[in-house]
Amino acid sequence: MPSNSSLPLADVLAPLWAVASAPLVVSVPAALALLALLTWAYLYPRRRAALSASMANLPGPDRTSPVFGNWRDFLDKASDDGTDSSLPLEWTEKWPTGRLHGFFGTHIFYSTDPAALSCILQNDTVFQKPSRLLNLLGILVGGQGLIVLEGDAHRRPRKAMNPTFGPPAIRELVPLFYDKAFELRDKFASFFDPANDGVALARRAEGDDKVVVGGRRKVDVQKFLAEFALDIIGTAGFNHDTAALNDSPSEFTDAWRAMQDALGQKEKRELAQLFAMMPVLEKLPVEAQVKMTAYNDAAVKVGRRLVENKKAALEAAAASGDAKGELGRDLVSLLLKSNLSSKPSEQMSTDEIVDQIRTFLFAGAETTAVAMSGRGQPELRHANGLTYLEYFVREILRIHSPVSNTIRKTVADVVVPLSKPVTGRDGTLVESVVLRKGTTVFIPIASVNVDKKIWGPDASVFNPDRHATEPTVKTPGIYANLLTFIGGPRNCIGYRFSIAEIKVVLFVLLRSFSFETLPQRPEQRRMPSYSYGQGLPLVPEMPLLVRVLE
């Protein structure tokens, strides 16, 4: 990502906030006043019930708004040094575990303490996604997408899908990643080929200065990485050529782009937070909602067609005595094959599989695109040894986590242990915190990734070499001690997929091009961060000077 950024997944939701924040045609002040009153009344009993003595004693920032609590103090803010953190670093350094003020006098628990994080992430029975988040996610991925299921309903499909994302399956996909990476390389190369109209080719992604100067030209690399990531999910995810990179006509890809553009217009984030509490508002026929419906219709149509064709091919193969059938190496084909070997009662239905396709698109395309555009482009040229490449990718994902935070809600009372006690408001030590049922828990992914207690005093510095030594403080993160893909039973199932994809694209591009930051304007704009309440950033862009290597 650009030098200072982060993107929508947990309240990932970001694209979804955008829907809620689109312009309204009703009287905004009247609607807001009514909404505020209803919300205050709705939350009143929770405010009273949700505070245990230990939670009440937790330190934290003062409330700066009676309506928004502390939300406005940290949303949209990157730390001053350009690294990403989901909470201001001065807060997490002063209060590693603390209490934030939420909307209308509610309270939010947060922690960067590894023992607390481990308790939260490992215990998915008690710490679940709040219904508000599930509603928002469900709009884009359907009601049966892995990411919106909880409890037993989640465990069965997760178990069925785990092998689909295991190391052998991902190895099989690597040739597909290379094919697409070569396509991307050829696209960049065409900008320098006098036989092509490079200006026209690049027009969609660039500003005015498209000329080649000193062998270099400006390219909005982010746009092309986003198209690459979408094509990868299409081909490797479900064997459908979304054709974003080669600009072939595609009903699906057009709907995807229109939705992304509409969601990218999101400006009124605080309003969106209020609307998110009342899902009924998402039904308003605002522009973003209309585009999202069009995209959903296209995704369901394509998904159904694919699944039904593959099922028919499998049945035909079985009828002709070919027990395996040759469907393809993509994730959905693997899922369908493993489905066949499950008990009928455990098999996934067509609709369930279609929702997984929608989930892969939502959870896997933009996140990986954002990661690939991670900061530190000038240093990319050094990423030429495979070990260094591994460290380099880890460092991108550490400094710039595409999903900067997520949230949970407790569905029962629970005691959260702390590895280091914190000093409470009354001066006593708090060694563990009792969270009452219904407490909102904020998981500051990006802040943990740049925590000095884990990564040392230079935690904010981009330094791939740090990964040569294992950190002594362990987090529950599934990958490289990072919280980027979280950990526990709800970790990101696609993390190996993403890492392989990022490595392949870096490996291919860095052998053909150098990428330099612009000597002067325009500044790289902050990239989107899928984060609770933050939403999609406006228009992500990452103009760089690209030069063909001899």
Residue 363 interacts with ligand HEM (CB under 6 A): yes or no? yes
Per-residue interface string for the shown chain with ligand HEM, residues 231-250, x marking contact by CB under 6 A: ------x-------------
Interacting residue with ligand HEM among 392, 497, 513, 515 (CB under 6 A)? 497
| Strands 513-516 and 107-111, sheet pairing | unpaired
Residue 498 interacts with ligand HEM (CB under 6 A): yes or no? yes
Give the torsion sign (CA, 371, 366, 177, 138).
Answer: positive
Question: Smaller CB distance to ligand HEM: residue 53 or 153?
Answer: 153
Give residue for tokens 């392989």.
500
Q: Quick one: the chain helix, strand, coil %, rounded to 5?
A: 50, 10, 35
* DSSP designation for 530: B
Spatial distance between the Cα atoms of 446 and 375, rounded to a whole number of angstroms: 14
Which amino acid type is present at position 62? D
Size of residue set near ligand HEM by CB under 6 A: 25
Q: What H or E segment, with its residue span, contains residue 110?
A: strand 107-111
Q: How far is the CB of 537 from ligand HEM (least distance, A)?
A: 15
Q: What is the 3-state secondary structure (H, E, C) of 255-285?
A: HHHHHHHHHHCCCCHHHHHHHHCCHHHHHCC
Interacting residue with ligand HEM among 74, 109, 360, 455 (CB under 6 A)? 360
Q: Angle 272-275-279 (CA atoms, 0-180°, nearest 5)?
A: 130
Interface region with ligand HEM, contact rule CB under 6 A, candidates 27-35, 98-106, 360-368, 420-428: 360-368
Q: How far is the CB of 113 from ligand HEM (least distance, A)?
A: 19
Q: Which residues contact 448 (CB under 8 A, 6 or more apart)?
A: 112, 117, 454, 475, 477, 483
Residue 222 interacts with ligand HEM (CB under 6 A): yes or no? no
Interacting residue with ligand HEM among 176, 403, 441, 450 (CB under 6 A)? 403
Interface region with ligand HEM, contact rule CB under 6 A, candidates 170-178, 192-200, 357-365, 506-514: 357-365
Residue 359 interacts with ligand HEM (CB under 6 A): yes or no? yes
Interacting residue with ligand HEM among 51, 147, 205, 276 (CB under 6 A)? 147
Residue 299 interacts with ligand HEM (CB under 6 A): yes or no? no
Interacting residue with ligand HEM among 57, 253, 377, 406 (CB under 6 A)? 406
Residue 402 interacts with ligand HEM (CB under 6 A): yes or no? yes
Question: Smaller CB distance to ligand HEM: residue 259 or 371?
Answer: 371
Residue 348 interacts with ligand HEM (CB under 6 A): yes or no? no
Interface region with ligand HEM, contact rule CB under 6 A, candidates 99-107, 288-296, 362-370, 540-548: 362-370
Q: Which residues contact 223 (CB under 8 A, 6 or more apart)?
A: 204, 205, 541
Question: Smaller CB distance to ligand HEM: residue 60 or 487?
Answer: 487
Interface region with ligand HEM, contact rule CB under 6 A, candidates 21-29, 250-258, 387-395, 400-408: 400-408
Cα(first)–Cα(last) distance of the chain, in Å?
26
Between the alpha carbon of residue 453 and those of residues 60, 163, 338, the distances in Å are 18, 35, 43
Interface region with ligand HEM, contact rule CB under 6 A, candidates 373-381, 402-410, 428-436, 459-467: 402-410
Spatial distance between the Cα atoms of 161 and 401, rounded to a whole number of angstroms: 24
Residue 405 interacts with ligand HEM (CB under 6 A): yes or no? no
Give the torsion sign (CA, 387, 392, 397, 402).
Answer: negative
Inter-helix orientation angle 269-276/28-49, to 10°: 60
Q: Which residues contact 365 (CB under 8 A, 6 or more apart)?
A: 226, 229, 230, 232, 233
Contact predicate 299/237, CB 8 Å: no
Q: What H or E segment, with its residue span, contains residue 221?
A: helix 221-232
Q: Which residues pair with 108 in a beta bridge?
A: 100, 440
Per-residue interface string for the shown chain with ligand HEM, residues 106-145, x marking contact by CB under 6 A: ----------------------------------------
List the interface residues with ligand HEM, window 429-488 (CB under 6 A). 484-486
Q: How far is the CB of 497 from ligand HEM (least distance, A)?
A: 5
Question: Smaller CB distance to ligand HEM: residue 158 or 466?
Answer: 158
Interacting residue with ligand HEM among 130, 328, 364, 477 (CB under 6 A)? 364
Residue 494 interacts with ligand HEM (CB under 6 A): yes or no? yes
Spatial distance between the Cα atoms of 358 and 376, rounded to a whole number of angstroms: 31
Q: How far is the CB of 428 from ligand HEM (least distance, A)?
A: 33
Binding site for ligand HEM (CB under 6 A): 9-10, 146-147, 158, 237, 359-360, 363-364, 367-368, 371, 402-403, 406, 484-486, 490, 492-494, 497-498
